[in-house]
Amino acid sequence: MSDAPPKDAQCQRRWRLALGRYAERELGSGQMSRADQRADRAMDYLYAREMEKRGMRRDKGGGGRRGSLDPSQLTTLGWLGELRELFPQSVLETVQAHAIDNLGMNDLLNDPQVLDQLEPNQHLLASLIACKNVADPAAQAKIREIARKVVEHTMQRLKPQVMRALAGKTDRFRRSQLKSMRNFDWRGTIRENLKHFDSERQRIVAERLRFFGRSERRLPWTIILCVDQSGSMLASTIYAAVMAAILTGLPSVEVKLVVFDTSVVDLSSEAHDPVAVLMSVQLGGGTDIGGAVQYCETLVTQPTRTVFVLLSDFMEGGPVARLVAAVRRLASARVRLLGLAALSDDGAAVYDHQTAQRLAGAGMEVAALTPDRFAEWLGKVMA
């Protein structure tokens, strides 16, 4: 990039907004509108803190900046209000997460009134959970409330997909009162209404529609969810907690929920309550996947009716050979083994491919899937 500012005014304006007030002396602010100045102030309120940590001073006198626009006049509540007015939802979520996760704005954690102003979403919740242990009791109550709202929204969206995937096979010998196109019996409907054939219009008038029933699975299954609770997996942990709650509501399904880093915590008794699970997550430390899998071996009572799901980035901190050996033992016992490298909306995954390949060679099916695709996968395994 050249030392001289761009000649094009619009380009100069964009560079000025991107670089912040520390570039004001070189680029000026003459091309910035009032809305631009508000956006600049809102971003400066947050990101200038990071610059000051690196030893850069605010230039309070340079650039002809008026006192009324000084970032120090913003309060945290006022700043949140500016964000909502100035930026789209995607930017709002990103900046809120940066404020808590990267830049340590304790105001957002220690003031319940401020937490009331935050827009509940998964990115925000992930950041709040990562910092919940340094929040005071009142703020922790607000974090729990935000977790409940995010969980309810995720549950509403995900539960119908999971229930459809795990509802069972179509039963062509049983009729159903559930009128869904998924269960529509078009052959039976034609047979039922042949007597209503309209010769003039050359079509069948369907006075009665027929639908297939669906047979529920009766044999019991045990599903063991083994979830890596390292920071990089936190977004996936939110989905895992919701998935566990949905699965506990299925007939003839027992859910075991285990979270781990270098230690193992059995949250099976809380599996029905995703908020309690998320508030129990403890981030940090290393990753001992092999130790977690060894613990889960002790939970297996009926191997051929057990599905073991490992949700992890497969970045093993302990001996990989021990992890592979544990997976081989489970596979030899005929436990169905599924490895999820991601459990997020977009299915994006960053994981150790070499370890994942070794686990696949030991008998584990490994994939990077969104929650709805995981439900379909689980449904096929349990069919």
Closest to 154 in 3D by CA, of 373, 372, 382: 372
Q: Is 221 exposed, middle or buried (0-12, 13-18, 19+ CB in 10 A)?
A: buried
Do the Cβ atoms of 226 and 311 come closer than 8 Å? yes
| pTM, to two decimals | 0.66
Output the pLDDT for position 383: 75
At 107 the pLDDT is 67
What's the pLDDT at 1? 46
Q: Comparing C-alpha atoms, which of 209, 215, 291, 200 is closest to residue 252?
A: 215
Range list for CATH 3.40.50.410 in the chain: 221-382
Measured between alpha carbons, how far is residue 370 from residues 89, 236, 309 in Å? Answer: 22, 10, 14
Q: Give me the pLDDT at residue 48, please.
A: 74
Written as tens digits, the pLDDT of the chain (383 aa) is 455 444 577 777 777 777 766 666 666 665 677 777 788 887 887 777 666 666 665 554 444 444 444 444 566 666 777 777 787 767 777 787 777 766 666 666 777 777 777 788 877 787 777 777 777 788 888 889 999 999 999 899 888 888 887 765 444 444 444 445 556 666 766 676 667 667 777 776 665 666 555 544 456 899 999 999 876 677 778 889 999 999 998 888 999 999 998 889 999 999 999 999 999 887 656 789 999 999 999 999 999 999 999 999 899 999 999 999 999 999 999 999 999 986 554 556 778 999 999 999 999 999 988 887 888 888 888 87
Instruction: Give dist(CA 228, CA 342) in Å, integer.
Output: 11
Q: If residue 280 lies in a helix (H) or strand (E), which one and from where to where? A: helix 274-280
Alpha carbon distance, N-terminus to C-terminus of the chain: 59
Please tell me the predicted confidence (pLDDT) of residue 69: 40
Phi then psi dihedrals of residue 171, to 5 deg: -105, 105
> Given this model, what pLDDT does residue 135 score?
76
Q: What is the dihedral of CA 14, 19, 21, 27, to 10 degrees?
A: -60
Q: What is the pLDDT of residue 281?
A: 82
Tokens of 65: 């900046």
| Cβ(105)–Cβ(75) below 8 Å | no
The CATH fold assigned to 221-382 is: Rossmann fold (3.40.50)
